[in-house]
Structure 1
Amino acid sequence: MTPLTVPVISDSPPNPSVSKRSLNQNCSLVCSVVNVSAVSLSWYKGNSVLSSISVSDLSISLSLPLEIECLDDSYSCVVAYSFTNQTTHLNITQLCGTCSATRQLFIQKALIITGVVLLLLLLLVVTVGVMKFWHRRNNKPAIETTEEEVVYTDATFTTHRAPDTKTKGLDQTEYSEVFLR
């Protein structure tokens, strides 16, 4: 008994009718089986059938093209025999060169956008903090200050004897006003 043929997924030449912008985001693939009879060949995305082809002839080769989105690698190719299936899952990074570049570009853009958003949030936090600081600083009660010049002088106190009128012979101290200049 001959072994069952397993489908092979390979790159296919890009479709000339597809625009250059689409080529950067899409990848053209082909799923093939050789020397099969009474089988169907199908492309799946997850559990959904995208396209299918059947043959009942003996010893024929089947090919089924598919253009996929680069950011999604949930594709598989299935050859269905009357009694079993053979499946090959797509490894998008090995087959689609344009997809690898697209994924890297997508990741770079996501990182740049994330960085810009974080920078804007940081700027907002700093701005709010500075505004609160200035608000508190400007709303504090002002300490009153005057710009008067203070002059220090030496004061001299002396005692002298006054005429003995009320103190009956005791020394008396007289105080007088002190003027500062």
Structure 2
Amino acid sequence: MYDVILFCLWSLSGVLSESVSVTEGDSVTLSVDLTEIKDRILWKFGAHDVVIAEMNAEHNNIRLYEDRPDGRFTNRLELNLHNGSLTIKNISTKHSGLYQVFNTSSGKQLNIFNITVYARLTVPVITRDSSSSSVSNCVSSSECVSVTEGDSVTLSVDLTEMKDGISWKFGAHDVVIAEMNAGHKNISLYEDRPDGRFRGRLKLDHTGSLTINNITLTHSGLYQVINTNTENQLNIFNITVYAHLSVPVISRVSSQCSSSSSSSCCCVLCSVMNVSHDVSVSWYKGKSLLSSISVSDLNISVSDLNIRLSLPLEVEYQDTNTYRCVVNNPITNHTQHLHITHVCQVCSGLNITQLCHKCSGFIVVMCCAVVGPVMIVAALLIFCRKHTHTQQQDPAGEDEITYAETTFCKRQTHQPRCAVEDDVVYSGVMRI
């Protein structure tokens, strides 16, 4: 809108406007050189031409109307008597708009300024996103405590100078879990509250410090210590308990690599089991981060401790770089180095067909070397078995064999074996 208005003003009056950008809280000077002008001048602001400053050069007189139009210029304006320049100090976004300077004697518009005031940018703050965690963020007045499951933690307070009674409260419902009366003589522990999770774990000493032994994930949350006489809150602790971090395991993936040179690459997977909130897995090449994944990226619940977090990586068989997988949470980390020669075997890049072609010659040689002797031994065994079987069929033995004398006769080839008789008598045959 201002650009259109400025263009119209410039076209009609012949005065070119100046655009001025400034940050909120700074000062800006709208410079004009009126040393040659001895007439009166006016400074006007906004679309309604509200007069905010006036100067009579002849009488060396300056007037500032800082309460116009609504007091936004109070204690902020300064007008130079010698050249007519207007300064706005500690400027705010309400001072954005058009500023015009006029010669009151001639009615001529001398200059136009279009000021845009920008709010001051704040420094970005990196905070932890609580959407993926059951633990609330630390409030500004609390002390944040991080601890690993199974450890002990002491919430230290020094109340030796105070003789009033105190109570320790846990969670959003302010459940009292420990009390110490005035004079710090009697201590009461309510370990069955709210659901028995503190049973056998609490200890309160005479300084007022509370110790939680063998802490678990269910003990994460807010802990407050209260003066029971005045009900004043003495301190707040926000405890975050993290599950034990498992050592990552690197294994080879049997699936094909995604790269075009799949025959020369090896696919590996870095995995960690039983992850909890704020756990991440990262691959590093030397000191450079290659890739990373965290539980929050998966958008899943961490109530199930059987969740496995895995991150793949492709490497070349001949790669000599150093690769490592790092698993970490906010309080601890574990590193596992990748040994390419161990995880990726020499032939792991070959498919089944290539493997058969490369190994076929070797298989034939091994078959000949192994099958030949086996065949010979088998033949000998068969022969021995047959010979043994033959001997078992003739129990009489060689001593009981009777040998007959053999007479060899000369074969008569042209005479019949029997003489042919004319009269042949046939007798009956009786079957017995």
Give the TM-score, by structure 1 length. 0.49
Give the TM-score, by structure 2 length. 0.22
User: Which of structures 1 and 2 has the bigger CA Rg?
Assistant: 2
Which protein has the bigger helix share?
Answer: 1
